[in-house]
């Protein structure tokens, strides 16, 4: 096998460079998380039935990470109106039913002792001994973490749920075992351990207590701070690949763009009238961030300038999934006097070929702006030795194909790849999700320069367009649940949980 030069992949975890961008993203993140949790507490089928809606909400959050100017206010307004209509309908339905009893009202303000007493009262006659023993261990702090028998995740007291047969599970997993209720039948399910039948009202959620988890061991070790940089080295087919994670900041994100005029006062009033469901604070942040360079573009300019200063022969390929990001980057590169070429899906074939030829042959052209969909496969871009990935792809194979346009047979210089990821956002969760399933390492395409990654992505996109059945039966344990949902839907549910920051150990309250 022919050895390739070393390849270094740096994941730059960047803090938001402006307060307006942070406020813009925080609003979308808060709304998205609340929506997903409300759907997830109902049932997995409800989440899958709203799959396309949730994907659209994630897409808006990813656009906010790329640049504020490409965030679609129409889409956000329509989602807000839809959620408002659903909320009003639920309120009307609730007013049409009988009011809650005093006993139900008291359940909203419980202590640990009251929750433990409730668990003992709900326990079956044959399980009262086990229930009292479990409650005593929790009350005295002898149990700090319990491994959920379903997801095998360590679960704290505030995330636990107890069945009337005295078996302990994390609340998320146990709720997934409960079948949907109807007007004539209460939601029920089978215990995943003993298969004993229970009703939802018989379950005890320890997280309902206001002081849940307050009794912990005094000698609990403090969590160690994560290092600011982590390095991983891998050898594949004789060449070295390094993976580095760096925490970093950026300057210049709040600077005004080269060619972008802010809205006038009259236009802003008209904007608020049209998007009346969007908070005024969000619109203000959107207007401020839209006229700014932005965190990612500012960082890209810093990296390109540093690359050119280090060696005049260096060249870079910039990949992005969003054409709006390439538009902003192209404007700022012109303002900085950096010559570049661009290839995207809107260009004709001969235009793409001419621009790629100019980038390869012209020593003054330092940057090639490339749409990841249009140029991730089938191109030879070995004239570049730097690669900047402006946003993460949910399918790691697409990224690998993009990197392989540069790091391939014929490349003679070491290749540096830099991912620009905003810290504590959906982008970071995408990277962590890929790593958790081992999809963020050297792939077959990297080892032998395969070409089937785009086919995999196309197949995935076509499958996502199929209609998802709204009703399905959930089994009493995760293995059976996966069989009933089928593997594709089960994986889709887990993917949504990771992207929305929800896991099996997440605190779940009763509906």
Provide block-wise average pLDDT over 10 residues at a time, the chain (511 residues): 82 93 94 89 83 92 94 92 86 65 54 80 82 76 77 81 87 81 75 86 81 51 48 54 75 86 85 87 94 94 94 94 94 94 90 92 94 77 93 89 89 92 93 73 40 40 42 44 61 82 44 30
Q: What are phi and psi of 53, to 5 degrees?
A: -65, -45
Instruction: Give 415's contacts (C-beta < 8 A, 6+ positions apart).
Output: 5, 6, 7, 8, 385, 386, 387, 403, 406, 407
Q: Is residue 303 part of a domain?
A: yes
Structure confidence at residue 235 (pLDDT): 55
User: What CA–CA distance (Å, rounded) separates 393 from 374?
Assistant: 14
Instruction: Verify that 476 and 450 share a domain, yes or no.
Output: no
Instruction: Verify that 448 and 331 share a domain, yes or no.
Output: yes
User: DSSP H helical segments within 73-231, as ranges?
Assistant: 73-96, 102-106, 112-122, 128-139, 171-176
Tokens of 163: 């069945």
Three-state DSSP state, 490: helix
Structure confidence at residue 286 (pLDDT): 95
Tokens of 179: 């079948």
Q: Is residue 460 part of a domain?
A: yes
Q: Is residue 60 part of a domain?
A: no
User: What CA–CA distance (Å, rounded) separates 187 from 179?
Assistant: 5
Instruction: Give 444's contacts (C-beta < 8 A, 6+ positions apart).
Output: 450
Which helix (H) or strand (E) segment holds residue 399: the answer is helix 396-404
User: What CA–CA distance (Å, rounded) separates 21 from 423?
Assistant: 13
Radius of gyration of the chain from Cα atoms? 26
Instruction: Give 212's contacts (C-beta < 8 A, 6+ positions apart).
Output: 112, 115, 157, 158, 206
Instruction: Verify that 460 and 478 share a domain, yes or no.
Output: no
Q: Is residue 281 part of a domain?
A: no
Instruction: Verify that 381 and 493 share a domain, yes or no.
Output: no
User: What CA–CA distance (Å, rounded) separates 355 from 341?
Assistant: 6
Q: For the chain, what is the domain count?
A: 2
Beta strands of 385-492 (E only): which ranges? Answer: 386-389, 415-422
Which CATH number does the domain housing residue 433 bear? 3.40.50.300
Domain of residue 171 covers 110-209+472-499
Instruction: Verify that 451 and 477 share a domain, yes or no.
Output: no
Burial of 415 (0-12, 13-18, 19+ CB in 10 A): buried
Tokens of 228: 């600011």
Q: Is residue 272 part of a domain?
A: no
Q: Which residues of 189-210 are buried (b: 16+ CB within 10 A; e: fewer)?
A: bbbbbeebebebebbbbbbbbe
pLDDT in tens, 421-441: 999 999 999 998 887 766 555
User: Is the CB of residue 368 less than 8 Å from the CB of residue 341?
Assistant: yes
Instruction: Verify that 203 and 332 share a domain, yes or no.
Output: no
Instruction: Verify that 480 and 430 share a domain, yes or no.
Output: no
Q: Is residue 372 part of a domain?
A: yes
Chain center to CA of 61: 9
Place of tokens 């089938």: 378
User: Is the CB of residue 177 less than 8 Å from the CB of residue 477?
Assistant: yes
Instruction: Verify that 491 and 417 share a domain, yes or no.
Output: no
Instruction: Verify that 299 and 445 share a domain, yes or no.
Output: yes
Nearest to residue 145, comparing CAs of 127, 128, 120, 170?
Answer: 170
Instruction: Verify that 199 and 249 share a domain, yes or no.
Output: no
Q: What are phi and psi of 256, to 5 degrees?
A: -70, 145
Nearest to residue 259, comparing CAs of 293, 300, 231?
Answer: 293
Instruction: Verify that 322 and 244 share a domain, yes or no.
Output: yes
User: Is the CB of residue 156 less than 8 Å from the CB of residue 212?
Assistant: no
Nearest to residue 429, comparing CAs of 3, 127, 25, 18?
Answer: 25
Instruction: Verify that 306 and 422 share a domain, yes or no.
Output: yes
């Amino acid at each position: 096998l022919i050895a390739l030069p070393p390849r270094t992949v740096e994941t730059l975890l960047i803090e938001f460079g402006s307060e307006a961008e942070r406020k813009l993203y925080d609003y979308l993140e808060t709304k998205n998380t609340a929506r997903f949790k409300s759907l997830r507490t109902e049932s997995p089928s409800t989440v899958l039935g709203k799959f396309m809606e949730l994907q659209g909400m994630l897409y808006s959050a990813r656009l906010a990470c790329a640049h504020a100017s490409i965030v679609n206010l129409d889409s956000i307004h329509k989602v807000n109106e839809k959620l408002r209509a659903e909320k009003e309908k639920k309120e009307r339905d609730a007013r049409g039913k009988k009011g809650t009893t005093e006993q139900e009202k008291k359940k909203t303000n419980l202590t640990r002792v009251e929750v433990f007493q409730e668990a003992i009262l709900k326990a079956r006659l044959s399980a009262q001994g086990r229930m009292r023993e479990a409650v005593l261990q929790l009350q005295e702090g002898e149990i700090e973490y319990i491994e959920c028998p379903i997801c095998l995740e360590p679960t704290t007291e505030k995330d636990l749920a107890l069945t009337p047969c005295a078996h302990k599970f994390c609340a998320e997993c146990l709720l997934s075992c409960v079948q949907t209720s109807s007007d004539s039948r209460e939601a029920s399910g089978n215990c995943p351990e003993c298969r004993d039948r229970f009703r939802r009202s018989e379950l005890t959620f320890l997280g309902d207590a206001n002081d849940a988890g307050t009794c912990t061991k005094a000698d609990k070790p403090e969590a160690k701070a994560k290092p600011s940089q982590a390095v991983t080295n891998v050898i594949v087919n004789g060449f070295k690949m390094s993976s580095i994670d760096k925490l970093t900041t950026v300057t210049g994100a709040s600077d005004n763009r080269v060619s972008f005029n802010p809205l006038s006062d009259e236009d802003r009033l008209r904007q608020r009238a049209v998007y009346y469901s969007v908070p005024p604070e969000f619109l203000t942040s959107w207007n401020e961030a839209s006229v700014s360079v932005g965190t990612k573009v500012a960082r890209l300019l810093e990296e390109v300038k540093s690359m050119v200063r280090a060696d005049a022969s260096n060249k870079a390929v910039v990949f992005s999934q969003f054409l709006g990001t390439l538009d902003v980057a192209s404007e700022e590169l012109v303002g900085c006097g950096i010559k570049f070429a661009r290839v995207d899906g809107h260009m004709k074939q001969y235009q793409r070929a001419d621009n790629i030829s100019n980038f390869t042959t012209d020593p003054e052209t330092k940057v090639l702006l490339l749409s990841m969909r249009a140029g991730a496969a089938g191109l030879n871009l070995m004239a570049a030795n730097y690669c900047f990935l402006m946003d993460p792809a949910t399918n790691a194979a697409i990224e690998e194909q993009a990197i392989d346009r540069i790091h391939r047979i014929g490349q003679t210089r070491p290749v540096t790849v830099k991912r620009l990821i905003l810290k504590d956002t959906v982008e970071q969760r995408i990277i962590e999700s890929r790593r958790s399933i081992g999809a963020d390492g050297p792939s077959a395409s990297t080892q032998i320069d395969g070409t089937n990654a785009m086919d995999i992505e196309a197949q995935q996109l076509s499958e996502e367009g199929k209609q998802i059945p709204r009703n399905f039966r959930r089994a009493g344990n995760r293995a059976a649940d996966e069989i009933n949902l089928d593997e594709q839907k089960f994986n889709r549910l887990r993917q949504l949980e990771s992207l929305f920051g929800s896991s099996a150990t997440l605190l779940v309250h009763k509906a």
